Structure 1
Amino acid sequence: MATLAWLAMLSLFAGPTVAAEFPSIELETTSSDTLDGVLRAALNAPELERAAEGGDAKGWQPFVEAERHRLEELIRGQGYLHARVEMPDAADDAGTSDKVTLKPVTGPIFRVGMVEVDGLQDVATDTVRDDVSRQMMEAVGKPARGDLLATLEDEVLWRLRTASYPFVRVTERELLPIPGRALATVRIVVEPGASARFGAVAYSGLVGLRQDELGRLQPFRQGDPYNPDVLERFREALLGHPSVKAVRLRLPEAVDADGQLQLRAEIEEDQLRAEDVAGNYRTGLVAAVSAIAALAIRQVSVASLRPGRSRWPLWFEVVPVLLLTAAFYLIAQRMLLLAFPG
C-alpha cells in the first residue's frame, strides 16, 4: 500500500545524534482522499519536533503513541466511529528505530439513526419540545461527524433560548453506535434553566443623552417573554441613534423573584471631535461675514435707488437674513456641544 511520508528533519532542530535516533513517521493512506488530506494536515509534526528537542531521543515512543491516539479521535470525529490507528512495536520489522508507520483502519462510516434530547421535560410547552424534536430529526441519515453533533447542540440551545430560556446549557453529548449496524444514536442532555421575561433596562455611560429618549427605542415592554432576536433588534436600534457610538447589553446571571431579567445597557456616546468643531466654526464665520457684507452693500447702495423706488428686490432682502440665521445656528450649536459633550 502506498504511504504518505512525513520525514522528521530533526537534524535542523536537535543535532545529528538525536535525528538519527528519533524516527521518521509514515502515515498509510486510506480509501478516502478527503480523509487522507485531513490526516496529512493534522499530523502534529511541530509537537514531535519539540519532543525531540527535549533531548530524550530514546523515549520517543510516548510522544508517537499520544499522536496515534489523537489521530484516532480525529478519524472518529469524521464519522468512522470504530476507527483505530495501528502502530507496530519498535521491536517488529515494520517498526525500526529510524521509521515508524502509522496505519489507519477506518471501518465503515456511521450515519445518524436516531437523535435523543433529554432534559426537555422541564420545558413549559409541548410546542417547544415538538419544535426541537422536528429539528433534530433532520439530522437522521447524515454522517455521524463531530461537526454535526456541534451543529445539533447549537440548534437545541438557540431554539430553547428563543423560547424564553436564556440560561439553557448542554450538560452531556455523545455518539452511541447501534450494535450490528453502521448507525449511531446522537444523545444530547440539556438543562433548560428558568424561563424568563424582560425586566427594566438600566442605562450607564450617558452624558448628553437622556434615559427616556433611549427607552423609546425598546422593542419590548417589561414583562414580555424573553427573546434574543428582540434583544438584538434593541441593540441595533440603539446603535442607529446618531449620538451612540457603541452598545453592550448585559444579562444578569439569573432571573429575579418575578422571573424577570433586569438588563443593563452600557452606552458609549459619539463625542464631538475637535476638527469637527473647528470646521463648523469656520462655516459659521464664513456665513456671518457673507451676511454682513451683503447688508453693508445694501446700506451703501440705498442712495443709488432710482426715483420712485424705495426698496431692493425681495431676494436681496432675504439672502442676508438667511445667511445670518445659518451662521448663528452653527456657532450656537458648536458652543452647546462643547459645553455639553455628546
Structure 2
Amino acid sequence: MYRFTLKPLGWMGAIALLTAIAPPVAAQNNGSRLTCQTRATLNPGVTLNYRITGSLLEGAAQPQELAAAAGLALTVQWYDRNGQLQTLLRNAVLNNDPQLAPGGDYRQLPFEAPFRPQRHRGDLLYATPASVHGLYVSLRPTNEQPQQIQIVHALRSGEYVRSRVGTCQSEVPEMDRLVDEQLRRLQARLEAQDWAEADLITRRLLAPGSTPNPPFNTVLLSPEQIRTIDQLWHRASNGRFGLSVQLRVWQQMRAAHPRNSEAAVNGLRDRLGWQLKTPRAEEDFISSDWLNESELTYSLTAPVGHLPWVGVSDAVVQAVAVPPPGVHCGVCTVDAMQLRYDRFYQYIPQRMEQVEPWLLRGN
C-alpha cells in the first residue's frame, strides 16, 4: 500500500517540475469541446493554475468509452518571484491508462471523496506522463458531460498538493464568436468613453446572469480574454479603471484581513467607492449600503478602480423582486435583497480568484 503526505510544498518542488515541460500535443477533436480550470496553493503567494482543454466523445454509452475517446491536453502555469507568468507544462497529453497511477490504482490517490475512484465503476481519471512525479485528474460527474475537476499533483516523490474543486464547461460551437463580438463591443464603448455600457458588457462576460438578456448563460473565459478585458479598460481610462486595478486593492485588503473575508470585501468596497455615502430619498426595502447600478459614477471622476462593477443590474433585481402576474413568490423580496447585499461577499472573492492567475502581479 502506498502512503502519501498531502501538504503544501515550497518553491523547490515547483522548480523541479520545470525539467518536465512537454512539447505541445494536439488534442483530438472527437466531439464536444471541454474546458476545465482549477488551482492549487503551494504556500502563501505561490499558486499553480491548471487549465484543461480538449474533446470528449459525444453519445458514449459508458463512461469507459467516454474516457477512452478523450483528447485532453493540460497546461500548468505559475508566477515566479518577479511576478512573471511561467509555464510548467503546455498542452501535455492526458492519458486514462490505469498503469500511470501509483501501483496501478487511482484509488490510492488523495482526492476528496466526490472525486475518488469507485470500484466497479467507470471513472473519468487521467494522468500525464509529462509530469516527473505524477499529476492526476478526476472529472465529475462520470455519467454525463463533466462539470467539475480536481487535480492531485506530486511535486516530489510521496508529497502531493490537491487542487480546489474547479469548473468545467462545454464549449458552445458559437461561443468564441459570441465572446469576440462582446469584446469588440466593449472596445468600441470604451473608446467612446461610454462607461455605463462598457460596464454592462464586462459584467455580461464575467457574470452573465448579473445582466438582463445575456447572450450566453455561462462562459469560462480564457486567460487571454481576461487580460484583453483588463487592458481595454486600462487603456481607455489611462490606468484608472480595470480588473488589475481592483485586484491590487483586493490583495491589499486581503493582506490586511487575512482571516476575515467579510472585512476584506468591505475594505475593497470603501476604497473603490461602492458604499452608499448619503441615505436614499426613498427606501425600497431591497437596497443596502452598497451602491446600486443606477447610483454608480460613470465618469473618470469616479474613485480609482470604481469600474467595472461587480453587482447585479437593477433590471435583474427588480425581475426577482416582482414576479410576473399570477405567480406567487413568498421569498422574492428576500432573494432580491440577497442580490444587493450578501452576494457581494460571495462573488467578490470568487471574481478576484477568477482573474488573479491571469493578471501580472508586478503591474
Q: Structure 1 length as normaliser, TM-score? A: 0.22
Query: Which of the pair has the greater relative contact order for Cα pairs under 8 Å at 6+ separation?
Result: 2
Max radius of gyration: which structure?
Answer: 1
Q: By percentage of residues, which structure has more helix?
A: 1
